[in-house]
Amino acid sequence: MSTQAHKTHPYHMQEPSGWPLFGSFAALTMAIGAVVYMHTGFYLVLVAGFAMVLFTFFGWWRMVIGEANNGVDHTEPVKTGLRIGFLLFIASEVMFFFAFFWGWFHSSLPILNNVAGTWPNGDIKPMGPGGIPMLNTLILLTSSVTVTVAHHALVEGDRKTAINWTGITALLGVIFLGFQAYEYWHLVNHQFGLSDGIYPSAFYLATGFHGFHVLVGTIFLTVCYFRLNGGQMTPNAHIGFEAAAWYWHFVDVVWLFLYINVYWWGSSSFAHLHKVVQ
């Protein structure tokens, strides 16, 4: 940390690192491997690239955690910058899902698409709001409460409570993913597959990417769980946990929009409304 020892400002100037170069090479290898796999079925390059990307994640984030724990680099201006950066990342994710909702409404609303047919298309029976979707909604709403409890406990210095409720939140994320996997299995085998029309494509794209975000959030919270166990977070220094909690709340809010528009509105009253408009 030679350049950091004599600094006269509160900002964190990064030391030279090979992780950006290695990460770029890993991503390129994974992309080439994906192309090769889709054309020839040969998957070893794809697996190697994916393993290199995971190794980059582990090594780079390990370095960032070390910077957070050394008590020198993450000053208050640096923490503010990290918070703003993560909020901007969440804003970009909002626009990411906005594109999915736009595709959903463009394909289903006659006012946006003059060639729209019946919705759902064909003889597809849509997924209703009851059953697993309702259960998953309750699970995510509960997890939003548990992560908030964990956050407040951490701020108040109650590390044991923060650890327990963070673990519960991560477990709820795993349960959500398990129910969604079962839901997909049931839909593919009994109702509709991915290539059965625009409705299944829009449905799987929106809910599937949300499921991926739940997976990312669950991993995020699991890392926080182990870091809390290791005493790496304090009431005054827990940017990583704040980011995980914000991300989890974002995932919860997106799910509420998906549940209302895709499962409830998209499968019941709207089908009748569409025929009336036609």
Q: Residue 22 carries which side chain, given as an amino acid letter? A: F
User: For residue 273, is pLDDT > 50?
Assistant: no
Are 208 and 104 within 8 A, CB to CB? no
Q: Residue 2 carries which side chain, given as an amino acid letter? A: S
b/e sequence 37-60, b meaning 16+ C-beta within 10 Å: eeeeeeeebbeebbebbeebeeeb
Are 174 and 139 within 8 A, CB to CB? no
Largest CA distance in the chain: 73
What does the pLDDT read at residue 1? Answer: 44
CA 80 – CA 239 distance, rounded (Å): 9
Residue 234's φ and ψ, nearest 5 degrees, are: -125, 170
19-40 vs 44-69: helix axis angle to the nearest 10? 160
Global pTM value: 0.84
What does the pLDDT read at residue 278? Answer: 47
Q: Which of 12-26, 34-48, 121-135, 202-216 has the lowest mean pLDDT?
A: 121-135
User: For residue 117, is pLDDT > 90?
Assistant: no
Average pLDDT over residues 224-238: 89
Q: Give domain 86-277's CATH architecture.
A: Up-down Bundle (1.20)
What does the pLDDT read at residue 181? Answer: 95
Give start and end residues of each alpha helix (H) in the chain.
2-5, 19-40, 44-69, 76-108, 132-155, 159-190, 198-229, 239-258, 269-277
pLDDT digits (tens, 9 = 90+) for 7-18: 677 888 878 889
Average pLDDT over residues 98-117: 75
Q: Which fold, 1-74?
A: Helix Hairpins (1.10.287)
pLDDT digits (tens, 9 = 90+) for 134-192: 999 999 999 999 999 999 999 999 999 999 999 999 999 999 999 999 999 998 888 88
Q: Residue ranges per domain, the chain? A: 1-74, 86-277
User: Minimal CA–CA distance to 249: which of 221, 209, 278, 228?
Assistant: 221
User: For residue 214, is pLDDT > 90?
Assistant: yes
* Sign of the dihedral through C-alpha 19, 69, 93, 205: positive
User: For residue 277, is pLDDT > 60?
Assistant: no
What does the pLDDT read at residue 149? Answer: 97
User: Minimal CA–CA distance to 261: which of 145, 253, 194, 190?
Assistant: 253
Mean pLDDT estimate for the chain: 87
What does the pLDDT read at residue 276? Answer: 46
Residue 41's φ and ψ, nearest 5 degrees, are: 85, -5
What does the pLDDT read at residue 40? Answer: 92
132-155 vs 198-229: helix axis angle to the nearest 10? 30
User: For residue 2, is pLDDT > 70?
Assistant: no
Per-residue CA distances from 222 to 172, 193, 196 (Å): 11, 32, 37
Q: Which of 61-75, 78-92, 207-221, 247-261 has the lowest mean pLDDT?
A: 61-75
What is the residue-wise DSSP string for 44-92?
HHHHHHHHHHHHHHHHHHHHHHHHHHSSSS--HHHHHHHHHHHHHHHHH
Per-residue CA distances from 166 to 151, 208, 247, 260 (Å): 8, 24, 14, 27
Residues of the chain with pLDDT > 70, as a percent, come to 90
What does the pLDDT read at residue 190? Answer: 81
